[in-house]
Structure formats: structure tokens, C-alpha cells
Structure 1
Amino acid sequence: MKRGTKLGLGALLAAVGGFGAYAATTSPPLLLSHLDAVMGGGKGAALVAEAVPFGDHGQTLDVWRAADAKDGEKRPVLIFWHGGGWVKGARQDYAFAGRAFAKQGFVVVVPDYRKVPQVRFPAFVEDAADAVAWTRDNIARYGGNADAIGFSGHSAGAHTAVLLALDPRWLTAAGVDPGIVKAVVGLSGAYDFYPFTTKRSIDAMADYPDPKVTQPIAFARADAPPMLLVTSTLDTTVRPRNAINLTARLKQEGAVVEMINYQGLDHEEVVMALSKPFRGKGPVLGDSTRFLKTHLAAAE
């Protein structure tokens, strides 16, 4: 998050609970998750599994669902990958997103993944595919319907979610039928950014022998899962052209796709709007939920 946003969150935490010193040493998303809990975002959602191992590289994931979920229920599933430019971020920092979608009726899986500089593309995408395999095999025990799985993510996480959905090689390599994903919501994602011009994209992607394979837009196809691509007019981190270009390509191919360009929001504010204290910034949660429920219900 930009500096002004971080300071704003710290001031709010200090006001509601005296966490000023804590705020100065805490990542902005984790800070937001604490603020979300303090301001009521935690009511009605339950963390039903924490730091569950998956894959072969020490990855872990959390599972959230509604606190009033009944035994024997089968709710639609959402796997949400966090952002951080492929270099930072952690599943526990995004509790606010897990809680938000759980309260909307989803069983939510929030996985970790390996990051730069320890790894480069495609390691973090392979980790994401492993998370899908875990979800397929285990989500029923938490009340999730493995026949109604959607993907979402913010920023780098949206890149992963959309690439997994469009390029079948990664799920296939993990032993997962690529048809498992029934809907995708990409929030402020990078989908069309080659040739690489930023340090983060160069560090994450440039070593791969065929750089075009890193680009979700290269795999647009008519039978892609339905997609909602969200961007915002003030996003200077991942430019709106990423969503605009991919939407146009998917429409050209005949796929089901929607795009929303939120006026006056920046890159961070799109994901912040999932949280209770910042939900008034824009209807990101409502629009995402509408799209996911429409298409996941059709899959059940």
C-alpha cells in the first residue's frame, strides 16, 4: 500500500484500540485485518482451519466459512490468492478477505505460495495449482462443494487466478481437471504486461524461456470460465489496460466476461473495499459475490 494509506490505517487502529506502536511494525494488509476484526468484520465468520500444509514446498492455507454454517451443508467454494508483487504477502494478512467472502456464503480457501527471490515463475503458479488440488480433495470436510469452485485474487494473486483458469497446463500438471474452476474474479490483476518494464515483473518472470507463457491474455479462449475483471481509474500499479485488453480478447473469442472499472479508486483501495471499515469505497464485495454466485450456482 502507498504510504498515506498505511499511516491512515495506523491512525484508525490507534483510535479504536491503542495499537499505534504495533501499527508501525505491521504489514498494511495484516493491519487492515486487525482493524476489520475490531470494527465488526469478524462477526459471522469462522476460521475453521489454519496453516494447513499442502504441496511439497512448505505451503500452508487457511479455510474460512460462515459461523452459522450447518453440518452437512455444501456451500460454494472460493480460492483467494493474495497480492504483493510476487515478493511479499501472507495468507494470514488477508483474513479480512476470507471473512468477507465467508459471510457471503462461500467456503473460502486462502493459500500461501513461494515468492521471489527464492523462486521465479512458474513456482508460485505451481503452488497455486497444488492449492486447487488440496481444495478438490479436502474441502468437503469443511462444508464446501468441490463441484462449485471459483477463483479470485488481488494484483499478483489475480494474475495467478486468471492464468490458472486460462492456461490448462498448470492444473493438469497438478493432477487437476482444468474444468474444476467455474468462475473467476480478478481484482486489479496483471494480465498483459509483456515486454516487462518493472523490476518486479522482470525479477518474477524474465528468466522463463518463453515469456509469453507468463501472460494470461495469451490463453484467452471461447470456453474460458466466466470471468469478472475488476480495475480502477487511479490504479498506477497495475494499469487498467490489463483488464481492458483481456476483456476485449475474451469477448473476441466469444467467452463470458464482464469488466468493472471503479471510478476514483487506486490499486490498494480495490482490495481494501472488501473489508468492513472500507466497504464504502466501492461495491467490490457485492459485485464479486453477485458474479460468483450466479455462475457457481449454475455449476451445482
Structure 2
Amino acid sequence: MPRHALRPLCLFLFLSTLLSINSSGISITSERIRNIPYKVQTAPGFSAEKNVLDVYRPNRKADKPFPVVVFIHGGNWNSGSKNIYWFIGRRLAKQGVVAVIISYRLSPAVQVPAMADDCAQAVAWTSQHIAEYGGDPNRIYVMGHSAGGGLAALLATNDALFANVGLMKNPVKGAILDDPAGINMYDYLKKMEFPGDKQYLTSFGTAPDGWRAMSPLFQVKADTPPMLLYTGEKTYPSIISGTKALHDKLQSLGINSRYTVIPGKEHVPMVKQLFWKRNIIYREAIAFMASGPLLGLTGAQTARCSPGMGMR
């Protein structure tokens, strides 16, 4: 397999181990409400397994509604489940965030446009119902790793996804992208540089116009919300180049963006590190949501943290 290709098997094996130690619905700091359908169950193509989400809400009371993060899992567009990522829901809820962890239909059953539609419907459900769980519908952020990072970027940049599901306005206030894949599949698939690249035609189709439409880099516009972008120093070169290009485009349009390279990290460890609450991504995301879009999100940086700060 080429080094540019994603390796969902390693990710799946690691996260399956985490899944095996998953806790019950209630903890000291948070409550989990599982398997809520976010689409009408009689809708064409509805999947009782995939078109569902879990909500993690803090147990403590607050003077005002909590900010909300909708997390979208990775898995090469053909694997993965919300059930693996319980630890992200728990960590966010412990820090005063209502977390919505979603599943969505996968390839080969559907292609990326349908996945993006599922994710948009999950965010639309969140906008309409999250107040019932203590969340603020006016402070919804999207977060994702790998393929989920690319889908989160699409939600932040493509308002038509929400118009298609009945929302007149994009409810996403910002995006937190962790080693996002698929930021520029248009140029990547035009090259077909590596033997394994044909696998992505199953998810993205064979039409270059479709590749471009599903590449967040080409959807950025002047009113795109601010973003926190992270890549590992040792991740796939296509992820680094795509994320850097997205950051540069955001900056060129005057959109607040911070791009952080985390030393020594490969692709899978970029999500493994979210097991620890003091991880840099959580710390900066919590500050981002607390302070709003004017958090000085400019330029690029290289993270430098000691092990005690959660860089594991």
C-alpha cells in the first residue's frame, strides 16, 4: 500500500480495543444518550445502524447552555462507527461541552455526497434538538479525524448541504480538523499516482466534477467560519499538503485559521491522543469555543508540549 494511502485497518484495531473498555451510559461527569435517529426512519436509504448518533452531556448544571461539538469519525470512507469514539464524547463532556458523536452510511453502499448529506442531517438534527440536552444551538462546531475531518470541512464550507436538508442558514460556527483527509481529492485523484488510489473511486466516483464538489478546498468562501487545523509531522504527505492549502486559502480570504503541526505524530496517533483530556487539541478547542472566532487564529505553529500536557 502506498504511504499516501490511508490505513483504516490499523485505526480500526486500535479503536476496537478502546471500544472493548467502553463504560456505561452514565458516569460521574457526563451522561450518554445512545442511538438517536437523526433522519426520518421512513426516508429512502435510512440505515438503523448508521443514521444514528449519541449525545454526551455534562452532568453539572450551568448558568447558560453548553457549546456543542459534532464529531465525525474517520475510516477511509468505508469503515468506522460512532461506537468506537465514546472516549471523545466523555472527554468533551467532562470539559463542559455537549458532544454529538455520529455514524453515517459508508462506501460501497453510498458515495461521499450521500455521506456528506448524512452528516448535514445530523448537524441539522443537532441544531433543532440539542437545547433539550443542555446544548446551545447557536454554538455548534464540527470536528473530525481523517475522512471525518474532510466531511467536517465540507459542512463548514458548503452551505448547500444544509439547504438540501431544509436549513436556510449553515449552523456551523467553526471547525476543528484533526489530520483531515480528502481536502483536495480533485487534484489527488487526477494524478492517480499510487497503485492503491483507484480504491477511492468507489467512494468519490469517476467524474472529476464530483471530486471537485466534494473537495472542501474549492468550497471555501468569504463567510466560511474559523477553523483549527492539525496535522501530524509524520502523517501522510497528501494530508499535510491539503491541510496547508486549506489554511492558506482561509488566510487569503481573511478567515481566522490556525494550523498546528504536532511533532512526531503519524496519522493514527493523531486520533489516539484524544483519549487524554489534556491533549493540545482539546485545550485549544475549548478555548476557541469559549472565546469565539476572534481568538487570534492566525499563522501556523508547531506544537511543543511535555508528556504531562497530554502529548502522547
TM value normalised by structure 2: 0.79
> Of 146, 150, 172, which aligns to 1:155?
146
- Specify every segment of 5 or more residues in structure 1 that has no aligned partner in the other structure, as ranges: 7-25
1:139-197 CA-partner distances (Å, limit 9, x unpaired): 11111110111111111111111111101111111112343111110111121232314
CA distance in 1: counterparts of 2:292 and 2:147, whole angstroms: 23
Pick closer, same or farther for the CA change 1:208–1:65 going to 2, 3 Å. farther
Per the alignment, residue 216 of structure 1 pairs with 216
Report matched runs for 1:172-211 at 5 Å.
Answer: 172-190=163-181, 191-195=183-187, 196=189, 197=192, 198-208=197-207, 210=209, 211=211
The residue identity in structure 1 corresponding to 2:59 is A
Equivalent of residue 136 in structure 1, options 122, 127, 134: 127
Runs ≥4 in structure 1, deviation > 4 angstroms?
Answer: 1-6, 33-38
Q: 1:100 to 1:151 in 2, by over 3 A?
A: same
Question: What does 1:204-283 correspond to in 2, within 5 Å?
Answer: 204-208=203-207, 210=209, 211-236=211-236, 239-276=239-276, 283=280
Match for residue 288 of structure 2 among 252, 274, 291: 291
Q: Is 1:188–1:232's contact at 8 Å kept on the other side of the alignment? A: yes
Q: Deviations along 1:66-105, whole A, 9 cap, x unmatched?
A: 23246x8511111110110110111111101111111111
1:68 matches 2:38:
no
Residue by residue over 1:202-240, the C-alpha shift from the partner in whole angstroms, topping out at 9 and shown as x without a partner, is 221134561211110001222110111111111127531
Query: What displacement does 1:4 show?
Result: 11
Gaps of 5+ in 2: 1-5, 296-312
Structure 1, 228-237 or 143-152: larger mean CA deviation: 228-237
* Deviation of 1:297 (Å): 10
Task: Provide Cα deviations, 1:103-134, integer angstroms capped at 9, x if missing partner.
Answer: 11111111110000001120000000110111
Say whether the 8 Å CA contact 1:149–1:296 is kept in structure 2.
no
From 35, 38, 42, the counterpart of 1:54: 38
- Kindly report the root-mean-square deviation, in angstroms, between the aligned alpha carbons of the 2 structures: 2.7
In the aligned structure 2, how far is the partner of 1:246 from the partner of 1:88? 25
